[in-house]
Chain A
């Protein structure tokens, strides 16, 4: 079953053209990987899928779960089940991780959160990710180390249980154990009804995952799609032959 379809997408940041006719199709139950040189447009793609107002779609369509979402705002897209783990998560003072997640969850369901159940699940998820429970009372990402911020993104993914999780370089900045913990987290989240899109520069995070497709993104376009072996090949040879 088709979950995300992007057709002939052109997108800009201000005057700068970044995505230049990008196509992508992700089915439920799949794990996709996007690799590509710095500045190719990977984060832009992730941000466009969630309608970051910094970027504008010039033309093309984004369909999610059988519906064109071009006109939906960020929060509406999130409510449909799209999630992004940010390459550089924002620090937001004065809002605790718990309160943030509670508000997010009740916004998504339209119902107040059942506090006890919520707390229990949050604690369990934090344990799975080797996170100290005290982090739930800290201000959102404020003073978190680079790796802690990334783990906090995955914690949010587990809590909000989206249909499509886009992980933008979640692995970069993580130590070896943390990478394993995060891919464990991805495996726990993953099922036949949802999908994951991993943006990465390294194959380490992919070792424990069953990857369905690997795409190479260069200069705003997908230039090559293959299976898990393509990632290995890139790791060894680089992008030279695609540029």
Chain B
């Protein structure tokens, strides 16, 4: 990569944390009560069935307990969170119609540029609502649907009802219930049977308002024999108050279908990221997760794959990076629920300046899942002795005939390797950065080029440690 491009990219990423638009909402609700929910639903002009689901979810939220494990969430006060922040625009189909201030944020994030060169469709959310959505005509002609979730609920209610809340049930945990009570925005994708979407679609979620929550709902159905590459990006500027992200992603990969779901989350360090993602994979289907978790004060994120059909496959490639004051509690869950299912997990974590990375891998191989294969590889790199890294595997294997391997490596960055690189004239900072980037390389390789560059720059910035 050319030096000047890297510099440009670095600036771009620094912007991510620094661009703060004035609070420019047209409507805002604070807190979490039945009235607030009704208010949101009314503003959205929703049908009564949608409101009923929201109110039911709110009840569940109050019934369910806070998690009894993992990071301390006591700083989160739902009565203070702006649960709905409507930007001063409706959803637009061209960037020209998006208000300048909002458009310039997405410009700085490189979204319109990426749209021109390497994406087949884009969704852009600002606070609680999608402000822009596009999809290439060719895909529309093939019957592909890519739109914001609010619109999908109105335009394709039958399709939505068939899948919504079916992958991630409202009772799953407290923050899913919260999500279903206040969800807003997000993307909906339907890829019809046999259609291949080779060029990725990307949805980007930008949270601008201080003290706000973002609760986008993403629902993707890749029908039989179809394929899709989907990229999700997230970011927010740095504030002093707590922001909350409790999105939900429901994915359905049907028979013989393929989905690659890539995420780069790049939250500022006042964010509590309590996100839920899950896929149900049918016979011969395959899910590939590629995830980079950067930023946030606290993250709890464990994408789950339910391999429900014979020969269903899951590949998980993920990295997380925790710096000062960060507690990233991530991992995954996999349920092998049919014969010959297989999963491959390759996870890396990096911790620095007292940052904490915990990786929980939770695998369940059901009695039906004979001849299943599972390979889990976790590696952590600690850049100093203040930092912490843990891997917590929980495996429940309820059948014989399973091929299973689990490897976990936890280590400190090697002084000898730093010396080796420095002995060739490379500065200490660059030597460390090279070793860390090298460590992360298997993940970068799984990302499309632009995102690999972005990830490398995120790593550089985390190492500089000067911002966020």
Closest B-chain residue to A140, C-beta based?
A: B438
- A90 to B439 alpha-carbon distance, docked (Å): 14
Closest B-chain residue to A159, C-beta based?
A: B424
Cβ proximity bits B329-354 to A, threshold 8 Å, 1 near / 0 not = 00000000000000000000000000
- A83 to B420 alpha-carbon distance, docked (Å): 11
- Cβ < 8 Å to B, chain A residues 49-108: 50, 52-54, 73-75, 78-79, 83-84, 86, 89-90, 92-95, 100-101, 103-105, 107-108
Closest B-chain residue to A80, C-beta based?
A: B425
Closest B-chain residue to A74, C-beta based?
A: B422
A14: CB under 8 A from chain B? no
- A112 to B426 alpha-carbon distance, docked (Å): 13
Do A112 and B423 have beta carbons less than 8 Å apart? Answer: no
Closest A-chain residue to B429, C-beta based?
A: A75
B427: CB under 8 A from chain A? yes
Q: How many residues of B contact A (CB 8 A)?
A: 26
Do A90 and B426 have beta carbons less than 8 Å apart? Answer: no
- A74 to B2 alpha-carbon distance, docked (Å): 26
Do B428 and A139 have beta carbons less than 8 Å apart? Answer: no
A156: CB under 8 A from chain B? yes
Majority secondary structure of chain B interface residues (helix, strand, loop or mixed): helix
Among B417, B423, B430, B434, contact of A84 (Cβ-Cβ < 8 Å) = B423
Closest B-chain residue to A84, C-beta based?
A: B423
Do A92 and B438 have beta carbons less than 8 Å apart? Answer: yes
Do B428 and A95 have beta carbons less than 8 Å apart? Answer: no
Do A156 and B424 have beta carbons less than 8 Å apart? Answer: yes
Do B415 and A53 have beta carbons less than 8 Å apart? Answer: yes
Knowing A53-B415, A90-B417, A93-B439, the reply to whether A112 touches B3 (Cβ < 8 A) is yes
Do A107 and B441 have beta carbons less than 8 Å apart? Answer: no
B442: CB under 8 A from chain A? yes
- A92 to B434 alpha-carbon distance, docked (Å): 9
Among A54, A83, A86, A105, contact of B415 (Cβ-Cβ < 8 Å) = A54
B435: CB under 8 A from chain A? yes
- Cβ < 8 Å to B, chain A residues 217-240: none
B417 contact set on A, CB distance < 8 A? 90, 92
Do A86 and B437 have beta carbons less than 8 Å apart? Answer: no
Do A160 and B424 have beta carbons less than 8 Å apart? Answer: yes
Query: CB within 8 Å of A: which residues of B?
Result: 2-3, 414-417, 419-428, 430-431, 434-435, 437-442
Q: List 25 A-B contacts (CB under 8 A).
A: A50-B419, A50-B423, A54-B416, A75-B425, A75-B426, A75-B431, A78-B423, A78-B424, A83-B423, A86-B420, A86-B423, A92-B438, A93-B438, A94-B441, A95-B435, A103-B426, A103-B430, A103-B434, A105-B425, A107-B424, A107-B425, A107-B426, A112-B3, A139-B438, A156-B424
Closest 10 A/B residue pairs (Cβ): A94-B438, A94-B441, A104-B424, A78-B425, A74-B422, A90-B420, A108-B425, A95-B438, A75-B422, A107-B425
